[in-house]
Amino acid sequence: MALAYAGYAQRSAAWLEGYARAGGAVHCRSGCFHCCNLPIQVSLAEALLTAAALSTAQMQSMRRRAARVIQNAKSASDWNEYFQTHRAKVGYCPLLDVESGACTAYEVRPARCRDTFSALSSKFCEAGGMERLTRAERVAYNREVKENPATDGVSHYIAPLEELGEPIWEAASDAMRSAWGLEIWGDFWVLTTLTQDAAFMAAVRSGAAAQATRRAKALGLWHLEIVRIEE
Ligand code: SF4
């Protein structure tokens, strides 16, 4: 995964150089952490890399937040409610230092945290930011997004920088298939927490999907939409 991350860093830097030369703007700044309360999808391969670098205290925070993710998934009536509650109530990533706005695990942050960039003001990234727009502001936003060639025409995130992250997902998929014969994808905080359970990881390493599922259920860290085991 480290190689895949390095490859992405090179590709994205080259793209950003050309983008800046053409007058394109990135609105992400050091200390801005509006996107750190979004639900983050990762592979178990990435979660393992992150987990290996975390302190005991960081892992304890991760565990507490993982339980809240599952609780939210169980109580939400649909994806939209899950998403909104995740941002507003489950809260920020346990790896965020809210005082400084810094990621305390920057070197081992997952792909999703690396490929998310805003082409418009970061006010649009805030939880509830889009919902607070007036009708006229929403019309202006839609127009700006459509006119900005760096977006997909629907949201303000920079689409090519997300697309350049595809090889990371492919590398994770290949690594999991070749090591375990299965793939596990899901919520960042839940999967990172699961990596710390010896019985869960033993089941994964032996390619036993049903056993891994049972263990995650026994730990209270299972929900169909949150942990996906693909055989
Ligand atoms: S890992 Fe770092 S960048 Fe990603 S959500 Fe957490 S604090 Fe933010």
pLDDT in tens, 51-90: 999 999 999 999 999 999 999 999 999 999 999 999 999 9
Backbone angles phi, psi at 186, to 5 degrees: 165, -160
pLDDT in tens, 145-198: 999 999 999 999 999 999 999 999 999 999 999 999 999 999 999 999 999 999
Q: Whose CA is nearest to atom 8 of ligand 1?
A: 36
User: What is the model's pLDDT at position 159?
Assistant: 96
Q: Whose CA is nearest to atom 4 of ligand 1?
A: 113
User: What is the model's pLDDT at position 30?
Assistant: 87
Any idea what the Cα angle at residue 113 is, between residues 99 and 85, rounded to 5°? 70
Any idea what the Cα angle at residue 168 is, between residues 54 and 181, rounded to 5°? 85
Ligand 1 environment, Cβ below 6 A: 36, 40, 93, 95-96, 103, 105, 109, 113
Report d(CA 120, CA 99) in Å as an integer. 24
State the residue for tokens 């304890």. 60
Q: Whose CA is nearest to atom 2 of ligand 1?
A: 103
pLDDT in tens, 1-42: 889 999 999 999 999 999 999 999 999 988 999 999 999 999
Distance 96 CA to ligand 1 centre (A): 6
Say if strands 41-43 and 183-187 run parallel, antiparallel, or are unpaired: antiparallel
Give pTM, 2 decimals. 0.94
Higher pLDDT, 128 or 104: 104
